């Protein structure tokens, strides 16, 4: 049995939420519109998060990190996303990029790179390719042995924070005949000869988080930069997603909460027919559904975070369920927030249209919601979901 009261955040977790919210109110929210408008990296947020150790809170204390558990990391990401989803990709991508290393990497490799991540250097994740999206095992990037080193060649696409991050976990085929069992993972540095980046994608949302192609042209890396065992890369990548899908759920909950907060304030101030629009039952029912669904998504996300921390057998189901449900809720709630504001909601003078655009990506990345439903169904049919 847990030492904590059932279904309540500990005082420590509550304090983390309040600390992140204070930083976001001061250094993230005020720049969110400008970051979106100019499609620029949220430097103010990045610096504020780094100085408070919220840029990569998941890094264990043994490597100089804050040692936040999975729920604390979720709270950090949720609170940042409430202010600006683009900025929430800083801790989310840092966890995504470094988790394969934490799962499979040698002690030396972890010491070297997790310490630098904790000190503020970013870590991105290179899995997707032009022909490997939902079919992530279809890896064309190759890694070939050359003495004690490896030579990498290939193209990665849709890489979040590419160009900003110093380090990249790269999935590459080391045995072309073995499909997913022939894929290995490597740490590549931005400064390695032969690494280059494409132009930033012009995106619907999360415009403050650069998304670029990453090119590997005869990139030679030392043999000790392989993560774990040869042929285990895809396994590490899938284990990583079980955990990091919970962070996407957290982004979704955060942006949905931000939109609901704004809609509630607006509905109480906006007058029509001589009274606040919040007095009309039709609008009250809309707001009620928004609040109910945000809270359901939050509870599922926190339940998944607990499973992520413990490494429970049903994490795969819960991670997929939280990501899928929360992102669908985020899309619905942000769209309804635009509706609450009416014509004003459709303009860039108000934040809800940005939130609606930012929310959309949570249904797509780290596995589309169609893929999440495949994952959930497989888990259910295998009898993995706990019978509580």
Kindly list the catalytic residues: 366
Residues 152, 170 contacting (CB under 8 angstroms): yes
CA angle 114-236-364, nearest 5°? 95
**Distance of alpha carbon 59 from alpha carbon 118, whole angstroms:** 6
- Cα-based distances in Å from 220 to 50, 125, 189: 31, 18, 11
Residues 83, 111 contacting (CB under 8 angstroms): no
Strand partners, 169: 125, 187
- Cα-based distances in Å from 381 to 235, 239, 374, 385: 21, 19, 11, 9
- Cα-based distances in Å from 215 to 123, 163, 363: 16, 11, 26
Which residue, among 96, 63, 14, 29, has the nearest Cα to 255 in the 3D structure?
A: 29
Residues 308, 241 contacting (CB under 8 angstroms): no
**How many Cα neighbours within 13 Å face the side chain of 209?**
23
**Distance of alpha carbon 4 from alpha carbon 48, whole angstroms:** 31
Using the structure block, give the residue that is written with the tokens 């449900």: 325
- Angle between helix axes 29-38 and 43-51 (nearest 10 degrees) is 140
Residues 85, 251 contacting (CB under 8 angstroms): yes
- Cα-based distances in Å from 376 to 257, 314, 372, 385, 386: 25, 10, 6, 9, 13
Which residue, among 262, 371, 384, has the nearest Cα to 320 in the 3D structure?
A: 371
For residue 132, give the DSSP letter. Answer: B
Residues with Cβ within 8 Å of 196's Cβ and at least 6 positions away in sequence, in order, are 214, 215, 217
């Amino acid at each position: 049995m847990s030492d904590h009261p059932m279904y309540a955040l500990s005082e420590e977790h509550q304090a983390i939420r309040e600390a992140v919210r204070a930083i976001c109110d001061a250094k993230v929210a005020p720049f969110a519109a400008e970051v979106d408008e100019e499609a620029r990296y949220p430097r103010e947020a990045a610096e504020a998060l780094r100085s408070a150790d919220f840029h990569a809170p998941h890094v264990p204390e043994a490597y100089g990190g804050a040692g936040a558990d999975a729920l604390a990391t979720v709270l950090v990401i949720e609170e940042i996303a409430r202010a600006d989803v683009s900025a929430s990709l800083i801790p989310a991508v840092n966890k995504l990029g470094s988790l394969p290393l934490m799962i499979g990497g040698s002690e030396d490799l972890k010491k070297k790179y997790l310490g630098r991540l904790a000190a503020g250097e970013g870590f991105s994740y290179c899995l997707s390719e032009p022909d490997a999206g939902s079919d992530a095992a279809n890896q064309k990037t190759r890694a070939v042995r050359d003495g004690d080193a490896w030579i990498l060649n290939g193209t990665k696409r849709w890489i979040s924070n590419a160009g900003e991050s110093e380090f990249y976990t790269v999935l590459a085929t080391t045995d072309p005949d073995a499909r997913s069992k022939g894929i290995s993972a490597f740490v590549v540095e931005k400064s390695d000869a032969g690494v280059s980046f494409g132009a930033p994608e012009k995106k619907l949302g999360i415009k403050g988080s650069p998304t670029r192609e990453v090119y590997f042209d005869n990139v030679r890396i030392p043999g000790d930069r392989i993560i774990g065992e040869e042929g285990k890369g895809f396994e590490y990548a899938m284990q990583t997603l079980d955990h990091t899908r919970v962070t996407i759920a957290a982004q979704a909950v955060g942006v949905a909460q931000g939109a609901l907060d704004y809609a509630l304030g607006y509905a109480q101030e906006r007058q029509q027919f001589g009274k606040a629009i919040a007095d009309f039952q039709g609008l009250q029912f809309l707001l009620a559904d928004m609040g109910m669904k945000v809270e359901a998504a939050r509870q599922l996300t926190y339940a998944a975070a607990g499973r992520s921390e413990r490494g429970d057998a049903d994490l795969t189901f819960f991670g997929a369920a939280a990501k899928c449900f929360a992102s669908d809720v985020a899309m619905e709630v942000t769209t309804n927030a635009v509706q609450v504001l009416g014509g004003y909601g459709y303009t860039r003078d108000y934040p809800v249209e940005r939130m609606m655009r930012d929310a959309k990506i949570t249904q797509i990345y780290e596995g589309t919601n169609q893929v999440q439903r495949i994952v959930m169904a497989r888990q259910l049919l295998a009898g993995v979901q706990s019978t509580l």
